[in-house]
Structure formats: C-alpha cells, structure tokens
Structure 1
Amino acid sequence: MKKIRILPAFYTLLLATSSHVAWAAKRHKADTAHPAASSHRMDRGTRPARRIVAARPETFSVVGLRKARATSVVVGQDLIAKSVPGTNPLKVLAQMPGVMFQSDDPQGLDTWSNQFYMHGFFQNQIGMTLDGIPLGDQEFHSMNGLNSVAAISSENVARMEATMSAGAEDTASTSNLGGAVAFHSSDPSHKMGAKIVQTFGSNNTFHTYLRGDSGDLDAQGSRFYMSYLRNDMDKWKGGANQFSQQVNAKFVQPVGESSSVSAYFDWTDFELYNYQDMSFDMLKNGGYDIDNFIGTPNGYAKAYRSALSLNGLPGGALPPGYTKMSDPWDASYYDGATLERDYLGGMNFHFLLTDRLSWDSVIYGHGQYMRGTWASPYMSSPNGAPLFDQMTLQHSQRGGFTTALHYDVAHNHISTGIWYEGLHTDIGRWAFQEPLLGQGSPVNSLGSLPAPFARLWREQINSNSFTGFAEDTYSPLSNLALHFGFRALLQTARAGDTQNLQSYTGTNALASGSITTAKAFLPHISADWHFLRQHEAFFDITENVKSYPIAAYKQGASPFALSQSTFDQLQKQGGLKPETDWNYAVGYRFTDRLVQASLYAYHTDFKNRLQQITSGTIVNPVSTVANVGGVTMNGIDAGLIVTPLRGLSIYNSVSYNHATYDDNLAEPGIVYHLKGQQVVSYPRLMYKNSLSYAWRDFDAHFDTTYMGTRNFSYTGDMKVPHYWLESLGARYHLGRGYGVARDLTFEFNVYNLTNVKYISTMGENGLPMTGDYQSFLVGAPRQFFGTIRAGF
C-alpha cells in the first residue's frame, strides 16, 4: 500500500504503532511546498479504493512538520478504516504508547463516558483542532468546545497529527498543556463517485455511512462532497438505545496553482440514553449489569416505588437485591440521557503570495444546544409524584478566526500569527414534573419538553480569548533543525448568576464575576538531528499555561462552578491560579528494514493543578474545586516493531508514567496525604502488543492492551484494578468490477474477545479525596461487528 505522504518535514520520527502498521521515515527537502498548499494532495480518504497489497501494511509516521519540536504521530484514514466503522478516531490514536482512551461503549461514541489521556495529560489539557478550527476543551461539560466525534464523521477524517509533550505554538487552543491533536478532513475526490458503508453488530447495532463526491466541476478543480452518517444501537445493559446522525459537507476551490479556499460544514444530532454511573459498592453488591430502569419491564413503576421507599412513603419498595447496596436509591434512576445538536462551519484560506511568503487564515462559527437529564428521587413533583426530572439545558455560541504568515529565507522558516475567539453560553437547570403512577407517560428526556415547574439555577458566561505566536526553524545542515518560538495568551471570562433556587443549590448565590489568564511569553526550544542514516535524536523544552476552565455550577474544575462566597474567598486568598507546566522531552529512533525501535522520555513540572473534589449523591453532589498543588511527572515509552516476513508485523510497546502530587492538601480540620501518590485516573504502566498479517486481498490483526492499576481516590486508598483487553479484526477485498460497485470489501471485528469485565471511564462525576464514590463506568462485554463497504 502507498505510504502517507508527509510534506515538508525536517525530520521524520517513527514511534509505536498498531498491529496493522509499519514504520516509515521520509526526510524533508528545503524547497518543498508549504504543507497547506498541498493538503488536498495529502488526503487519502477520498481517493478511489484500491487493492489490498500484502507487501506492506499501512505506514504510521511520526513527523515534525517544518518544526524541530516534539514528534508528531500521523495516523491516516486507512488505519482508522480498520476499526469498526464509526469508531471514535481518538480510540484509534490510543494504540500509541502513553495514550489512553476509555469509554463504556465499543465504538467510543458515548460523549458522557469518553476519556482521553496523552502522557498523563487529560483531554481538557490537550489542544484539539479540525482543519485549524479550535475544538476547545473535550470534557462533557465543556462550553468552549466540541467533542471531536460531533465535529466530523470518522470516515471523513483524512489523518490525525498528535503532537506530544509541548504541542505547538500555532495551535489555536488555551488548554494545550500536554500536546495537541489536529484532525484533518478529507478533501473531495477529483472523480465523481459515491461510497456506502453498512455495519451490523451486537445489541442491534446498525451503522450507515453514505457519501457522494462531485468530482471536478471545472478546469480549476472546484469540487465538493456531502455525507450522511446514522449510528443506532441498543445499550448493552439496561434498556433504551443510543442514536446519532451527522451531516458533513466540504467544498474546495483551487486558486491558481498553489493557493486555495475551502469551506467545511458539520451538523450533528446525538440522542443518547446514558449508562448509570457506578461505585465499588454497587459493583460488588449490585453487579456488573446494574443500570437505570428505562427500557426495562415496568421501568417507571420500579423507579416510582424506589423513590417512595427513599421518602418512607406507603407503597415504597426496592427491586430485589437492591437492599444489599449501601445507597440503593442512587444505583438506578428512571433514566439519564444526553441530547446534543451542533452546527459547525469554517472556511480555510491558503495563499502563496510569493515563492517565499504564504498566508493561512481560518474563520469559523459553532452553535450548540445540549441537555443532560436525570430522573431524581430527591425532590417530589408538584402533583405528589415522589420524583422529578432535572435537566441541565445549555445554549452556546462561539466564533473566531486565526491568521498566520510564513516566510522562508536563507535556512530559516519563520511564522507568526494570532487567534481570537468569542464565546457566549446560557446554561441552567430546570425541573419537570413526572406523572403519578398509572396517570400518564414519564417525561421524554430526548423529545419535546413540557413547561418546567421550577428553575433551579441559571448562569450566563462570556469569554474572549486571544493568542499570538512567533517561531523560527533554522537548518544550518540538511540533517539538523533548530527551533525557537514563543506564544502569548490572554483570556478574560465573565459569569453572571441569573436564577438561583436556594433550597436546591444550598447557597444564596452562584459564582459571578470575572477571571483573567494572562501569559506574555511562553518559550519553546527544540532540535532534531538525523545521523548515520538510520538514527535520529531530538529534544524539546517548553512552558505552557491553561486558561481557567469555563464551567457552570458544579459542572467541573472551574472557579465559576462554585458558590459566590467560595468564589470570593478564593479570589481574595489567591487559592486558584491558572495551571502551568514546564515540559522536557528527549527521544531516539532507529529504523531498519526488519526492525524499528524508539525511545521517548519526558519530564514535567506541573503547578497549580485544579481538580474537582466531590462527595454526596451524583444528582446533587457536594462539589468543590481545589488547587491540589504541584505534580512532578517522569515517563518513558519504548516501542519495537519487527517485520520478519513479507506482510507480517509484530509490535510491542511499554509505557511507564510516574506522576505524583508534590504536596498534601489541607482543609479545615483535616489533612489529606496526597504527597507521593500517583495522580488519579492515569496508570503507571501500559503495555500494548499487536500482530498483523496481510496476504493478497486478505488481512487480519490481533491486538492486546494491558491497563495498569489507577488511583480512584486522591489519597490512593481506592484503586481501579488492572485489566487485559483483546480485539480481533479481519477483512477481505474483492476489488473492482462487481455489478455497479467499483469496489467491495467485507470486514469482521470482535471487541473484548475474552469477554473480560473491567472498569473503563472514571471520574466523570469528579473523584473523592478518600473512599468510594459513584463515579466510574464499566466497559462493554464481547461485541461482534460485520461490515460491507462499497464504492460506486
């Protein structure tokens, strides 16, 4: 198979890959065109399908795009396509060493449960973009971002570039403490055509993807595509289902020989009944399959009688077996759901002004409507029903632009640019009446809503973000690149409390006021050296800052998630400061025809780590935000790929991360002994092994992942056990000439081959300082998927 073409790069560094992947390296030539000018030639996803060749699996390259910075892992569409269609691309990226992705569903589409880490940094500490459009924080409660699965269908992702450690100065993000992930959409094909992907699987999974490409409309190569995705599956435990649909469209207009304008549009509709959050007590005494009642026989009646029993009312009763749990009333609600609708649009401009000077700009806008619901037994409806539906409703709009100039002179590649974004969010929690038993239908969390009987709280938040950067990559020798740059960041956010029901929130006012993050000089220094043909070494040093998180009342580790009194006290005492870090990385790679090996080591000094500390029930938690102090992190990745036979690839990688808190946390009357404890949620040890084989039109892969023990509580007295997870996949390509289809491929995938029971996502409701808490999700059991792909 053809390699992904990387343009232009001073160096190429291969790191660990998946079972289907061989390493490749290409060296940059100084006179190669700017990457943006050639982006339409780099995208592979829209080219006509081709025969599977056994000679080489797909390449998985690690490159530095015109920068001597920490390595960038490039994952192409061919590798994404080997997963179950619709799979979250970040799950594919997690085949890299040091990267972790967790979800309660096999495709990684449940946004409530998605959790992505890269070398100890959480998804809200990693900058993410799509075609230069900033995706912001990737947390569920994020107001200034968009989850990557809602931004683009996985089938339309041409490639991903994951830049580790420092990220890059030009990333449009206020959160890239620990690297960046850049998604690139595929360009429309130059040839008119269509493709269809149809998947069937366990739990009535039905995934459909349709795409039509216009082909060239004129001599200049103007062209577009439109696609539609529909994903529907039953939950693997409990009842109800998870449904999503998505429309993508892209138009490309070449301008002259080396310039272009393109436009991208995304519409997404998520309608997901969520899995119930669990605690260790629930897991032990309620079982792995415990879940909410919706979609099960007499589901509303069970939730109704459970709520009656909580309040000691006549007719109350818990389902059989629930009395074994210490908190049976939070083990199952009637339902919990997420509805999200997004509109995202952007335009990219690339103009080659002279043979040395180019200009790149992006303008974009994003609108979001979102609701998250729980049927809570902790408050009665006005009609006397012992439960009500509490619903968090959010309307957000954001927009902005990036612009940058690139200039080549002598042995230097110089870039400078700016990014601006404005955000407005209106978010609140409403209460809806549930019916008396037998006297009507429960509230449809994903449908049309009745008038609320109470408005529990409401906030409006606005922010303005600005970054600027300048950088220079100097190549005194053809095999040596030296890089220096810096970025500046300024963000001001303001929140206002517009409604507050004190009997519900427990406070007389929610946080109102403004917070500012300002850093004028964040340096970045790196170098890359190729020597003795097969060897490469690099280092990377940078300072970064993350702006204060933007989240509403009890929605995250944000100053605005607090009461007014706590907000004022922390402002006065200076207890909350923006998170900052210094990252240091060194690496080495050896590339040979039969053996490829890599070593990557890093050290991070992390200051002012903000964490959400939670206790109480998950429907109305006792939640605060704490500065848990500094974190010192040391880590190392080692990867080895052996290709002893034509078409056979054997891959192993091991990652070790020692990230510990520097200080204990003192609160009135108690000291929590955090010092020396591994950070929560991220394991010290991960191991990944893959075996792939390709022969003529057939290829297969077998993948294994070991996930080490993770700290659940900050003091480390509660831990999530380690687990092994295996998957298997195979596909057969029939090639061209079968009826109207130009191309036909059959695929089969098995997730969790050994049917292991394990804890996946953790901390979605915050994590406790000590002991148990209802804030983790379990992984899906064995799942089977079959797929037919056809091109026309």
Structure 2
Amino acid sequence: MLGGVIGGVIGAPAFAQTAPEPATASAPSAKKASPVRHGAAQPGKKAAAPSGTHVSVRPTAAPRAAEEAVNVVASHHTSHGAEASISRAMLESQVAGTNILKSVGQMPGVSFSSSDPLGLDTWGTSVYVRGFFQDSIGMTLDGVPLNDQTYTSVNGINVANAWISDDIQGVETSQGAGGVDLPGNSSLGGTMRFHTSDPKDKAGAKVSQVFGSYGTLRTYVRADSGALNQTGTKFYAAYSRADERKYDADTPGFMQTVNGKLVQPIGHDSRITAMFNWNDAEVWGYADKSLSILKNAGWRTESWAPNYKGAYNASEYAWVNDNGLAYTGPGSYDVGSGTPLILPKGTTPTIPATWQNTNEGAGTAYYDAGQSTQDYLGSINADLALTNALRWNTVFYAGASDNHATYGDPWTQSLGTGAPLSEEVWQNSYRRFGFTSAFTWHIGRHTINVGGWYENNSQRSGLFWYNEPVYGQGAPLKTIGPYTTYGAAFQQGYGFTWNTNSFQFHVMDAWRPVEGLTVTYGFRSMLQTTSGGAYYGNVDAGYGTGVGADSGLPSGSMTSAAAFLPAVNLDYHFGRGHEVYFDFAENMRPFMVAPSGGSVSPWAVSSQSAFRDLQRNLPNERDFTYVVGYRYTSRKIQASVDGYHSDVYNRLISASVGSLNNPITSVVNSKHATMWGADAALTLQPFEGLARGLAWTNSISYNHFTYGDDVNICPLNGVCDIKGKQMLAYPALMYKTSLSYEYKGASAHFDVNYYGKRYFSYMNDTSISPYWMANLGAKYRFGNLSVLKNVTLAFEVYNLFNQKYIAMMGENGFPIGGQSGDGGDYQSLERGAVREYFGTISAEY
C-alpha cells in the first residue's frame, strides 16, 4: 500500500504541479519551560479547482475503477516534477483515525514520530521534512492556512485537530522551500495541501469502528444528504470519537471531532463551499524522559496519576531534599509562604529507589501531565469560472483555539490548601480570521496566477498554578480540568497578549514553451507585524525582574518584511516515462510568537533589555533551496533520485541550561547553516496475472546539516561554539521499505523503516541510537452485503517487533552539552509506543 507513494516522491518544487480534483467529486526552583514546541470537466473547459489558490499545470491520470479485480498499487498517488499527491487509497492503509501526517511520513526525507500509535497526543508528535521542523512547513486545508503545527501554538491548528482524517480526500506535498501561492507564515521547508472530501451525490451513511490494544476504541459516523435539488446542493456531517489508553499507565487519551461540508454548484464549472470543524482533545500525556531517566529509572517510568499518594510522597521528598525542609514527621510546617505546609499522616517523603539515581530526583515524573484543547475552524470558499480562461478563487475563514497544558508541580505549594504540590497550567488561546483571493488566467501557453492573503490573529498566553488537595481531603485535580475545584488560581507566573497582522502577495506563471517542458516562475511578498507582549510577570515565580506591568518581561512590536522572494521550477518530460526537474526558491519566515521559556521567539527571552536588542539586531530566518532530480515511470518500474542544497540564515536556537524546572533560557541567532542531501527510491511491480498487485518499494535518504558560523550558545560561562555541529532530532540516514499485495478484495502490507542516529545536544556529545520500526497490516473488502455496502475488515500491528525507541525529541527544548554544565542531557524525550494491535470494521449504507 505504501509503495506507490514512496516510489514517486523525490524532490521539492516551490510550485504546485498536480491537477485539481473535479468540482463534483512557587518556589524559584519550580520554574518550568513553557510547553511550546519547539462536476467533472466539460470538453474544452477546465475543471473547477479545489479550495485554495493551487494552480494546475498538468492533468492527472484517471484513477482505476473501484471494482477492478487487481488494483495496481502505484495508482494510489501521482507525481509530477518534484511534487506528489497522496490519494485516499493510500491514506486508508493506516488505522482509521490515525494522524494524517503519519501517511506523509512514509515519503523519503520525511521523519514522523509519535508517542502513541494514532498520533493523537500532539505533545509527543513531530514531523521533519528534510531538516525542517513542523513549525517551518507550510500547510493548508482547502486553502485555509494551518500555520505552525507545534503543541499549543498560538499561530495555528494542528491538522490532526482541524479535520477528521476519514474525510480527507488527499494530500499534495512538496519538499522544497515552500510554495509561492500557498498562504501562511510558516513556509520554509516545503508544503502540504490537504483536501477534504466532497459530499456524495447519493444520500447515505458510513460507520467504522476500531478496536485496539489497551482498551483503544475509535468510532466514526458520517451521513451524506445526497443531491437535494436540481442545482446539486449537497452536504455531509461527520463525528469521530477516539479513546486511547496509555500502555504504561491507567490514564486515557480522548478526542472527539465534528465536521461538516456543504457544496453548492453554480452552473457546470463553479461552486461555493462551506465547511466547519470542532475538535475536543482531552489527553493525559506520557511522562517526559531524559537519558538519565532511561538509564537509571527505566523506559516505563510514567506519571503517578491516578496514584495521588505516590505523587504526594514524592512532593514531600522534593521539599525535604531540594528545598531544605527539616522534616520531623507528619504535621504542619511553616515555609514562609503564609500558608502552613501540610504533610498528613499516611504520607512520607519518599521516591522510588531508582529515582534517586537520576538527575531529576523527585521530578523524574510528576503527578500528571497533559492537555485540554478545544479548536474551531470554519470557512466559505467561492471558486468561480468568470470566463473560459479566467477563474477567481476566494476563501474567507475564521478559527479559534483554547488550550490548557498541565503538569502536577511537586515543588510549588498550594497556598489555598497547604498541599506541597499544585497543578501548573499554561493557558494559550487565539482568535484568527482572514481571507485569500487569487485569479488564474489561461492565455496561450501561459497560466498566470495572481493573489493575496491577509490574516489577523489575536493571541494570549498565561501561566497559572491551581490548588491540589491535602492527601485524604478530596480528589486531586484532573490534568484535563476543571482546575478551580479548590479555588481560583493562587499564583500567576506571566501573562502575554499579542496582535498579529499578516499580508502576502504573489505572482506566478506556468509557461509551456515546447511540448513536455513547463517553466514555472514567480515571486511572493510578505509583511507581518506583531505588537504586544507581557502585561504581567511574577519574579517570585521566576519570571522577569519585577511584578505586574513592570515585570521586565518582553513587550513591543516586531516586523518581518520581504518584498521579493523568487522561485523558479523547470520540469521536462521526454521519451517514454522520463522526467527531469530543477527547482530554486528563496523563502522567509516571520518571527514566531510565543511566551517565555524554551521557544524560538523574540518574546521568549527573559528580559526587556534582551528583547530590545533583538528588535534592533535580529533578522528574519531565510533560506535558499536548490533541487535537481530525475524520475522514470512505467507500469512495472518507478525510479527516482534527486539532490538538494539549502543555505539557511538566521535560524533561531532556544538555548537552555539548568534543570527542567529552573532553566536559564536565551534565544540565539545561529547566523548561517548549510544543508545538502539526496533521496532515491525504487518501486518494482514486475509481474502480471495474479501477481500483478505485488509491489516492493525501497527508498533511502541522506541529509547533512551543519551550522557554519562561530556562535557561542552557552548562556552562562564557558564556550559552546556550534560551528560544524549537526542539527538535532533529525536522522542523517533513513531507509524505508514496503512490500504490498492486492488482489480483488484482499490486500496486505509489510513496512519497515530505519531511522539513523539523532543528535540530542547542540554540542553533539549526546545522541539517540538508531532503530528499526516495522508495521504489518491486512484488509479484506467484502463488498455489498444485503443493505450494507463496502463492508470492510482490517487488521494492523503497530511496532511489530516491539522495538524500544524514542519518538519525540526536544519537546521542552534541547540540552547544550559541552562546557554548559548540563551534561548534554535534559528531560525532553518521549518514548514511542510498544507493540499494539488494531482491528477495524466499516460499512456504508
């Protein structure tokens, strides 16, 4: 099932080259880093484009009929130039409800990892595309910019929360330096354009149910209205609910989503669509780990919840051993907070023996950690054929998000109850609205696209502590809330508000001077201004140099501007199935918006003076990317190879030393880095007859990213020069292989991926070992049974050989190593899930 995608995906154009779908179809020691991660076409007329401003320069081959006896795997995707489209058939090779980015992760040069098999916990999920993290990849959903994909971002929505994966029809991907016509402020290292499925012409319904290991249940229901009148008005509404318990603790992950889409055709070649999505995620996250924890406490070290007594004991231990409390037995203690510290009978200052050997001690794991997130997204799209040669596409959209990210803090006393621990809650939110508009004009051998994008985003971020009960005097707070059970927040760490206005304009032309050759060229201009910053800071909680408006935390405006960001792509087809392509693009990313603690944002520094220095001297991150590639495509062989080079300027590094709960953080400009690499892939389908559906795909990727300037990132004493050091968390070498077979209603696949060594510290003195990951799946389509249609049964095994591996890295930032004094270690690793089994049954009516 994976072979078709991998076999044709090599390279990275800055322009879309795939045809659109038809229109029819505390104490100071308690300070902690903020959890911010780092109708079909008529003869002679052009089919309506999908939502957004994506320009087609070449038609796509028609898909095979669903009832064909032998389905060729390679038909699950199309590739042109250095762009690939992942079809619905490919997406369905994953367990229903899986994060859609996992399918993209099968492509060469893409590294996807998650702490849970379905990828629901966005804290433990990461995507890298040729050295660019998920905060630097341009993403849209039906033309709506999704922007930054990192955890609790105030600049965008994760695609896993933006739409039910069952209702995504396909993905168009590019691995270059972004797309000229793609709206958004996070596009540096490629683009991903997600397209939702259209309502069906005939009324009906679909239900699927997933059963999995550790009590996993996932239900999906969709109802289609069918065409309601002669104009073709139609809509659908869908609901999904996923319950996914952790493999090493009795705490769950829960997500439910409602989405709907309405399509109103206008004539035979235009339409208006409206869509809405609501998502609710209530997730108990996995405990963050360090190399010290993995070595001394073990891979299954997990948060205490629901064992409140164990967490209470560990908090008492922290007060005795870290805060110097003279413990004489159960009772009340005066710790100078104005509230007695209560250590009741039945508790004692203890931690597991193995924890005493870790660098983190009582902080090896907290009582709980997780998130409560509510996301809303809606849009109206008008895709209008003004003439046979001129189209106008406009999208109006709005989105909102409210996030609560939590830790059970063992070092900060609950001042309202006297308990030694409290619930630390980061509260991030945004309200954004905007529009995109573009004209596409076909004239002679040219397809000219001109358009723009505007967005306003009102953003907030705050850090609060809430009371936990004294042991035996009430139930502890849940990581998903409510948090005010024992009163309002007793302490605030900081408060930030910002307002961001983003503008973008682009011009591009796809020119076909001779048969087989397409030259696409253009540029985009971008302007973004963010104003605001801290309105409150509490020095007693470790933030700023004062209290309130005079906190000394960063406040002020930053402007990012680039008048001319050019891009050129050449794509030449010759002979039978041969293709060569070249791509160049320059891109710029505006300054990220995030609060204090561990993020790569100017507002994340610890003082106003440091922020003012960045205002005067910090340029925007830019890159220049070049790609050259070759592809051969036939029914039996798909082969591709390409090479790429990027010059990356002004990439920001969030450098931290000290413990996780008391970091000293600075934002450092790395000045210049270089990256070069190569991808190669081969898919073989050599047989006919019964073996026609057998495909074997292999791909290999190599990436070499090094910092090029002398930059000392030690925030205190010592020299920590990053020149010549390699990038973190992304493997230099990846190998992926997939063997798949389809015949009539049966299919099976066996996939194995190899991920090479990943550096953990900036000084490259610590790293995560390579690992192999294998998955196995089988599916049988029974067809129609009585009134039920397309009855399907699927079985999947995740992590077939039960490999121990680290998934997410750097969720709390990365250690420095070298002379920084941190030993190259930090509590900023997430273990990947153990072997798990999933079964899915689905049917339509």
Does TM, scored on the shorter chain, surpass 0.5? yes
Deviations 1:679-711 (CA, angstroms, capped at 9, x unpaired): 111111000000001122211000000000011
Work out whether 1:775 is the aligned partner of 2:823. no
Give the partner amino acid of 1:316.
Answer: P
Cα RMSD after superposing both structures: 2.7
- The structure-2 alpha-carbon separation of the partners of 1:454 and 1:240, relative to structure 1 and needing over 3 Å to count, comes to same
- C-alpha contact (below 8 Å) 2:311/2:366 kept by paired residues: no
Work out whether 1:409 is the aligned partner of 2:452. no
Instruction: State the partner residue of 2:462.
Output: 428
Shift of 1:501: 1.1
- C-alpha contact (below 8 Å) 1:495/1:560 kept by paired residues: no
- The structure-2 alpha-carbon separation of the partners of 1:147 and 1:32, relative to structure 1 and needing over 3 Å to count, comes to farther
Work out whether 1:682 is the aligned partner of 2:715. no
From 764, 767, 777, the counterpart of 1:716: 764
Instruction: State the partner residue of 1:21.
Output: none
From 250, 259, 262, the counterpart of 1:251: 262
- C-alpha contact (below 8 Å) 2:50/2:195 kept by paired residues: no
Deviations 1:137-176 (CA, angstroms, capped at 9, x unpaired): 1111411100000001110110001112132211011221
Query: Distance between the aligned counterparts of 1:499 and 1:292, measured in 2?
Result: 31
Residues paired across the two proteins, number: 768
- The structure-2 alpha-carbon separation of the partners of 1:568 and 1:779, relative to structure 1 and needing over 3 Å to count, comes to closer
Query: Can you give the 5+ residue segments of structure 1 that lack an aligned partner in the other structure?
Result: 7-11, 18-23, 65-69
From 632, 652, 655, the counterpart of 1:590: 632
Q: How does 1:303-452 map to 2 (within 5 A)?
A: 303-310=314-321, 311=323, 312=325, 313=327, 314=329, 315-382=348-415, 383-450=417-484, 451-452=488-489
Moved more, 229-238 or 298-307: 298-307
Query: Distance between the aligned counterparts of 2:45 and 2:174, measured in 1?
Result: 21
Moved more, 228-237 or 307-316: 307-316
Query: Distance between the aligned counterparts of 1:625 and 1:535, measured in 2?
Result: 47
Give the partner amino acid of 1:14.
Answer: G
- C-alpha contact (below 8 Å) 1:665/1:671 kept by paired residues: no
Instruction: State the partner residue of 2:700.
Output: 654
Shift of 1:678: 1.6
Work out whether 1:750 is the aligned partner of 2:797. yes
Instruction: State the partner residue of 1:633.
Output: 675
Instruction: State the partner residue of 2:588.
Output: 545
Work out whether 1:467 is the aligned partner of 2:491. no
Work out whether 1:516 is the aligned partner of 2:510. no
Moved more, 196-205 or 548-557: 548-557
Moved more, 622-631 or 193-202: 622-631
- C-alpha contact (below 8 Å) 1:269/1:341 kept by paired residues: yes
Query: Distance between the aligned counterparts of 1:129 and 1:38, measured in 2?
Result: 12
Comparing both chains, which one has the higher relative contact order based on Cα–Cα distances under 8 Å and sequence gaps of 6 or more? 2
Identity among equivalent positions (%) equals: 39
Give the partner amino acid of 2:702.
Answer: Y
Instruction: State the partner residue of 2:651.
Output: 609
The DSSP-based 3-state class of the residue aligned with 1:560 is helix
Query: Distance between the aligned counterparts of 2:210 and 2:91, measured in 1?
Result: 15
The DSSP-based 3-state class of the residue aligned with 2:816 is coil
The DSSP-based 3-state class of the residue aligned with 2:432 is strand
From 779, 782, 794, the counterpart of 1:734: 782
Query: Distance between the aligned counterparts of 2:303 and 2:364, measured in 1?
Result: 8
Deviations 1:560-600 (CA, angstroms, capped at 9, x unpaired): 112333434523661x3210010100110011222110012
Deviations 1:117-141 (CA, angstroms, capped at 9, x unpaired): 1111111111010000000111114
Instruction: State the partner residue of 2:810.
Output: 763
The DSSP-based 3-state class of the residue aligned with 1:445 is coil
Query: Distance between the aligned counterparts of 2:65 and 2:636, measured in 1?
Result: 28
From 607, 631, 635, the counterpart of 1:564: 607
Give the partner amino acid of 1:473.
Answer: A
Instruction: State the partner residue of 1:694.
Output: 742
Query: Distance between the aligned counterparts of 1:470 and 1:229, measured in 2?
Result: 40
Shift of 1:309: 4.1
Instruction: State the partner residue of 2:343.
Output: none
Instruction: State the partner residue of 2:339.
Output: none
- The structure-2 alpha-carbon separation of the partners of 1:32 and 1:670, relative to structure 1 and needing over 3 Å to count, comes to farther
From 784, 787, 792, the counterpart of 2:837: 784
Shift of 1:672: 1.6
- The structure-2 alpha-carbon separation of the partners of 1:255 and 1:604, relative to structure 1 and needing over 3 Å to count, comes to same
Deviations 1:319-378 (CA, angstroms, capped at 9, x unpaired): 242212222212111111101001110011101001111100000000111101111122
- C-alpha contact (below 8 Å) 2:153/2:428 kept by paired residues: no
Shift of 1:640: 0.3
Give the partner amino acid of 1:690.
Answer: S
Under a length normalisation based on structure 1, what TM-score does the superposition of the two structures give? 0.93
- The structure-2 alpha-carbon separation of the partners of 1:36 and 1:570, relative to structure 1 and needing over 3 Å to count, comes to farther
Instruction: State the partner residue of 1:536.
Output: 579
Give the partner amino acid of 1:233.
Answer: E
The DSSP-based 3-state class of the residue aligned with 1:726 is strand
Query: Distance between the aligned counterparts of 2:615 and 2:787, measured in 1?
Result: 71
Moved more, 276-285 or 76-85: 76-85
Deviations 1:287-314 (CA, angstroms, capped at 9, x unpaired): 0000100034844444444444444444
Work out whether 1:554 is the aligned partner of 2:565. no
- The structure-2 alpha-carbon separation of the partners of 1:345 and 1:443, relative to structure 1 and needing over 3 Å to count, comes to same
The DSSP-based 3-state class of the residue aligned with 1:272 is strand
The DSSP-based 3-state class of the residue aligned with 1:417 is strand
Shift of 1:181: 0.5
From 202, 211, 218, the counterpart of 1:200: 211
Shift of 1:239: 2.8
Instruction: State the partner residue of 2:75.
Output: 59
Query: Distance between the aligned counterparts of 1:449 and 1:283, measured in 2?
Result: 31
Work out whether 1:705 is the aligned partner of 2:753. yes
Give the partner amino acid of 2:529.
Answer: T
- The structure-2 alpha-carbon separation of the partners of 1:384 and 1:178, relative to structure 1 and needing over 3 Å to count, comes to same
Query: Distance between the aligned counterparts of 1:213 and 1:555, measured in 2?
Result: 45
Query: Can you give the 5+ residue segments of structure 2 that lack an aligned partner in the other structure?
Result: 12-17, 23-40, 330-347, 546-551, 818-823
Shift of 1:443: 1.8
Moved more, 350-359 or 489-498: 489-498
- C-alpha contact (below 8 Å) 1:387/1:434 kept by paired residues: yes
Instruction: State the partner residue of 1:480.
Output: 517
Q: How does 1:74-89 map to 2 (within 5 A)?
A: 74-89=85-100
